[in-house]
Chain A
Amino acid sequence: MNPSAEGLRATFGDAIGRVVEARGETTVFVAAARLLDIMRWLQTAPDQLYNYLVDVTAVEYRDRERPLEVVYQLRSLSRRANLRVKVELDPRGELAVDSVTPLWAGANWLEREVYDMFGIVFAGHPDLRRILMWETYAEGHPLRKDFPLRGRFSRSEQVRQALNANPEANYSLEELSIAEAYGEIPSDMRDRLRRGERGDVGGVE
């Protein structure tokens, strides 16, 4: 068995689920509740040293009974070792997991993309908002299996929503904070924000 998997079992006991070894790759399933501790141990323990986060992504299976998986690909540069860590989430429950951005800064955008595409919330993420779709995208989370390939709205409605977003939708709340601090937001924009409207087109078909 992969030494990292053995070490994880020894250190975290029940928080480690099954270990799959196939095609020369090791996958370890871990409990969501202890994810940050496990990741910190993997990053800093002297015989683990997984200092490089290769990827963060999520998988939803076609079989609706199977849980959603959040997948972390880790690598130890000095040991030239790879490891895959997975967290399972119940699709009918709350899709939330801790963010690993305190450990690896590269996780910032990767987790934003998982949030955008799957709707999984990363607790403790410094700036969790959509990254590939626009922030006020109303159709849902595209990579979910119940999201149709061509989207939920009709084509003309998609074009209309894309063309008619208010200017506020083009700026993140952080940028609007900056402009507001220096007194630069036009008054009609300020009014729309006060009413809570950010690029809302209305009249969704």
Chain B
Amino acid sequence: MSAQHPRTIELEVATPGVDAQGRPVRVPVPAPAGLPAEPDLGGEHLLVNLGPQHPATHGVLRLVVELDGETVIRVIPHIGYLHSGFEKLGEYRHYNQIIPLTDRTDYLSPMANNVCLAMAVEQLMGITITPRCTVLRVIACEMSRIISHLVWLGTTSIDLGAFTPFLWAFQERERIYNLQEQWTGARLTTSLTRVGGMLADIPNGFVENLREFTRTFPKTLEEIDRVLTRNAVWAGRTQGIGVMTAEEAINYSLSGPMLRASGVPWDLRKDQPYLGYETYDFEVPVGEHGDVFDRYLVRLEECHQANRILAQALDRLPDGPINVDDPRVILPPKSRAMSDMEAMIYHFKQVMEGVKAPVGETYCGIENPKGELGYYFVSDGTAKPVRWRIRPPSFINLAAISKMAEGHLLSDLIAINASVDIVMGEIDR
């Protein structure tokens, strides 16, 4: 909220003054265009509180909306209702112990977070993973992309009045959940990766089941497409709503489908590739208008592309070990740890002391379904990080909502809020 307009509203109470510590004080309130200068309008504007408990806010988000009739003059988001102290907790955990924490930040795409964390720590420690592990991680990331976008599709449809796509989307999610459960034992909190490798190799039948999924998934997407895309209500409620131009999107540090729908062709998988994404054949959908409809189209197409990547990854899955062959980083097999003294000592040291990272820092960003998820680690040579920073894509994307919603109607605000694709666990951490 830059103070470009000269009008301020004087609050006629004694407010805590500005002190040397800069404690929060009254903020000059800029006048939106078209409003008269005198503040004695007496009841023409409404201050409405949306949330934090509200079916349409996708988690515990609170929006305080200043309304002129149905038109949104200003929206002030309040977050922090799910603040769980992740970054503080990370300072008291070994690097492998942080992996279960990452499931719970963006709980709609847990495997992608696990992969990002393992990549960040491996970057910090200078470990190169095996080829099979690389392809498996790509599979994990793309599966996560699909389930995250399916939740988005389902919940956005509910917000805009269409209930059935929610059920279709969640039915497809159940199929991915079955695969996740086969692989990791858990439907949602997968904790899939370890530093230097994975929790476990894929079980028998996984490849066939996933291939079957990639074969039938596009049909569901086409059903959803048929119901929504050319629907007059859907198009009417989403086209031209919540527009962000490309320059604004870059300036607000948006990422992911929010950025691409505004016409900026930036995708970390193509522009700063990792995990061998430059060797896969896929397209990145880029929008034109930067409105809610474009974001919907971008995410729908990303599901198709993710499906395509999955099929390619399954074809090229190499044999070999999934874990790096370094006993200081990877736990030895239990049978060896019980019989061989050296293996037992390695096992003991890793479990009791954790794996020490070299002194230094690193930032690792990947293309999460919501945007650019980044983990920034600072290490002082011990097994627990000095600082673990999560660069949350939804947090930064949500900050732009006050820009996007001004001048729209209240029901458009719901559509815009849905289009940001937020997950409060990641925003509040």
- Chain A residues with CB under 8 Å of chain B are 22-23, 25, 27, 51-55, 57, 59-63, 71, 73, 77, 80, 82, 84, 94, 96, 101-102, 104-110, 113, 117, 121, 123, 126-135, 142-143, 147, 149, 171-184, 190, 193-196, 198
Among B204-212, B284-292, B385-393, the stretch in contact with A: B385-393
**What would 18 A/B residue contacts be, using CB atoms closer than 8 Å?**
A25-B363, A54-B374, A59-B389, A82-B272, A102-B2, A105-B399, A108-B399, A109-B395, A110-B253, A117-B87, A129-B24, A132-B79, A172-B27, A174-B29, A177-B26, A177-B29, A182-B39, A182-B47
Beta-carbon contact of A135 and B24 below 8 Å:
yes
Beta-carbon contact of A182 and B387 below 8 Å:
no
| Partner of A84 from B40, B266, B363 at Cβ < 8 Å | B363
Give 1 or 0 for each of B15-58: 1 = CB within 8 Å of chain A CB: 11000111011110100000000011111110100000000000
> With A104-B253, A105-B251, A176-B11 known to touch, is A132 a contact of B80 (CB < 8 Å)?
yes
Residues of B within 8 Å of A183, CB to CB, are: 40, 42-43
B88 at interface (Cβ–Cβ under 8 A)? yes
For A117, the closest partner residue in chain B by CB is B87
Beta-carbon contact of A180 and B9 below 8 Å:
yes
Beta-carbon contact of A178 and B47 below 8 Å:
yes
Beta-carbon contact of B378 and A59 below 8 Å:
yes
Residues of B within 8 Å of A195, CB to CB, are: 14
Q: A54-B365, A149-B88, A178-B9 are in contact. List 7 more A-B contacts (CB 8 A).
A: A73-B363, A77-B250, A127-B27, A175-B47, A178-B66, A180-B13, A181-B9
Residues of B within 8 Å of A117, CB to CB, are: 87
Beta-carbon contact of A173 and B25 below 8 Å:
yes
With the chains together, A105 CA to B247 CA distance in Å?
11
With the chains together, A52 CA to B15 CA distance in Å?
37
Beta-carbon contact of A178 and B13 below 8 Å:
no
- Chain B residues with CB under 8 Å of chain A are 1-3, 9, 11-16, 20-22, 24-27, 29, 39-45, 47, 64, 66, 74, 76, 78-80, 83, 85, 87-89, 92, 123-124, 126, 248, 250-254, 264, 266, 271-272, 360-363, 365, 372, 374, 376, 378, 380, 386-387, 389, 391, 395-396, 398-400, 403, 428-429
Count chain B CB atoms within 10 A of each CB in A130, A172, A175, A181 and give the residue with the most.
A181
Beta-carbon contact of B27 and A177 below 8 Å:
yes
Residues of B within 8 Å of A128, CB to CB, are: 22, 24
With the chains together, A27 CA to B376 CA distance in Å?
13
Residues of B within 8 Å of A198, CB to CB, are: 16
A56 to chain B, nearest CB (A): 9
Beta-carbon contact of B92 and A149 below 8 Å:
yes
